[in-house]
Structure 1
Amino acid sequence: MNSITPGAARLSYRTIFISDTHLGTRGCRSDFLADFLRRVSCEKVFLVGDIIDGWRLRKSWYWDEGHDDVLRLLLRHAQNGAEITYIPGNHDEMFRQWLTLGLDICGIRLRREAEHSTVDGKRLLIMHGDEFDSVVRYAKFLALLGDWAYTAALVVNRWFNDVRRRLGYPYWSLSAWLKRQVKEAVKAIDRFETALVNEARRRGFDGVVCGHIHHAEIRDVDGILYLNGGDWVESCTALVEHHDGRLELIDWAAENRLSFFSPRTTGVAQVA
């Protein structure tokens, strides 16, 4: 196999939006995320919630060198002049109690939500989005049960894809397929997107950037942009703003042919 070396050409963006990395879980592809952060430069970074998975860490501790790499690289971006804003989500809600303090930790600002203006003048509302998820907001027990079910699906997914690999088939996300096939899940995604778009419209924004549902998307909904950066558990996607204001979803794993079957590494990501 070939490898992506730390000396590879850097990609320059004006703004990067990252959500749902779920550091602290075995499902987090911290090696892919570290590779992405190592190979990009930008003026601003928005961390759009569920960056550190407090729910999982409270149950059992998991933290490896790849997770450390991600934090070190984010701090390096801050030291190099990037403005970094951290908007806690429901899985890292422990940081929300610090919001009233207006903390700036090592160049990373904690905010409940944020506003961003693209270079071509679009005003974007940035929030994690769990406040518009009725299950999380009104029935946390069901949300925790859903978290358990999702984690179980990821475990089954690993076994399932191990069999596919042995048979010569490429990686295929069982849990993502299940979400697409379950009618109620599809309805829930649509309700979530509609709620976020309506909130952006109500407050006079041109669009909304969110995370939470692990479903990367860019689409125009009756004149309002809906932008979801996806996650770094399965899709390994980030939303970026180019220097001309163009918004794009970057599928890091697909574009770099990164193998989900390769051993997790630090410093160098393996290519399939």
Structure 2
Amino acid sequence: MKKTKKRKVELVVISDIHLGTYGCRAKEVLNYLKTIQAETLILNGDIIDIWQFKKRFFPKSHMNVIKHITSLLSKETKVYYITGNHDEMLRKFRGFQLGNFKILNKIILNLDGKKAWIFHGDVFDVTMKHSKWLAKLGGKGYDLLIVLNTFINWVSQLFGYGKLSLSKKIKNSVKSAVKFINDFEKTASDIAIDNNYDYVICGHIHQPEIRKIKNQKGETLYLNSGDWIENLTALEYNKKEWSLYEYAKDEVAKSFEFKDTKKGKKKDKEKEHTILFNELLKEFDITNT
């Protein structure tokens, strides 16, 4: 099989993968990551869903995503892990650094002379501030709905009908209600403008977006990386331009295969990746079982 040439990307922002949940599209995430060569990878929160983590459900495909990300460290890719609400336990490790890997709550980058403010976004969520137990309950309900939706779509396709996203319709109606009280995008953009940030980059609300937002004081470019449960999107920065990556439109990634058919694969390279991964687990006091 001919080796797929990887796309070179200066900066990639990906969020809301929710590894450890039934709705996570881990194989698609890995497809995407395997087809790009990023100088910097920013994991913008909710990568591992610690809220709903259960030892009995963490498939190999989910672990493969983590292993691939750790393997990037040996290829000189800078990896920043920005904590979110579903992986908030990692916030106690804020500032932790291992080689090119670093855990942060937020980051400010200089991109070709412009300032980019990057954070997950749950700090603006009213439900997170005042009703965390309700937000967690909602997360479990959302995960259950994804499972139900998967079954419904299987039946629908069996009879020749298209896919239906129940969770997306319900989520959009709920987000509209929350937005009436606390406009997430406007709040993030207003603060960015006050601090002279050219870009404000979030995740959290699972709504991919790139648009300019203005107020009386100025303007900023608001960006949201979406999610890898329904939208399957990411943000890419190249040659001073931002773009919204959509997996559904990437025929190369969708046709990519991950079967290790190469018998002559170098063992030392695999060993190096394993060592890096085990070192990371050790730093976090996690047993690789």
Indicate the TM-score class for this superposition, using the shorter chain for normalisation. Answer: 0.7 to 0.9
AA of the residue aligned to 1:143 = A
Which residue matches 1:197?
189
Given that 1:75 and 1:106 are in contact with CA atoms closer than 8 Å, whether structure 2 keeps it comes out as no
Question: What is the rounded CA distance, in whole Å, between the counterparts of 1:71 and 1:189 in structure 2?
Answer: 33
Deviates more, 1:27-36 or 1:72-81: 72-81
Greater gyration radius: 2
1:231 to 220, 227, 231: 227
The reply to whether residue 52 of structure 1 matches residue 48 of structure 2 is yes
Q: Which runs of 5+ in 1 are unaligned?
A: 260-264
Listed one character per residue, the Cα deviations across residues 125-147 of structure 1 (whole Å, up to 9, x for unaligned) are: 00000011010111101111211
In the alignment, is residue 112 of structure 1 matched against residue 108 of structure 2? no
Aligned partner of residue 227 in structure 2, secondary structure: coil
1:136 maps to a residue whose letter is: M
Q: Distance in 1 between matches of 2:2 and 2:109?
A: 30
Residue number among 246, 252, 267 corresponding to 2:258 in the alignment: 267
**Who is 1:186 aligned against?**
176
Unaligned runs of 5+ in 2: 260-289
SS of 1:32's equivalent? helix
Distance 1:145 1:103 in 2: 30
In 2: Cα distance, 1:50 partner to 1:213 partner: 11
Letter matched to residue 230 of structure 2:
E
Q: Using the alignment, how far apart are the partners of 1:130 and 1:61 within structure 2?
A: 28
Aligned match of 1:34: 30
Which of residues 59, 82, 88 is equivalent to 2:83?
88
- Give the whole-Å Cα distance in 1 for the aligned partners of 2:138 and 2:36: 34
Count of paired positions: 253
User: Is the Cα contact below 8 Å between 2:22 and 2:146 reproduced in 1?
Assistant: no
* Pairing 1:215–2:207 present: yes
AA of the residue aligned to 1:188: V
Q: Aligned-pair RMSD on alpha carbons?
A: 2.2
Structure 1 residue 78 and structure 2 residue 73: aligned? yes
Task: State percent identity of aligned pairs.
Answer: 33
C-alpha distance in 1 between matches for 2:222 and 2:5? 31
Tell me, yes or no, if structure 1 residue 63 matches structure 2 residue 58. Answer: yes
- The one of 1, 23, 43 equivalent to 2:39 is 43
- Whether the 8 Å contact between 2:22 and 2:143 is mirrored in structure 1 is no
1:12/1:40 contact within 8 Å kept = yes
- The 1:257–1:44 alpha-carbon spacing in structure 2 relative to 1, beyond 3 Å, is closer
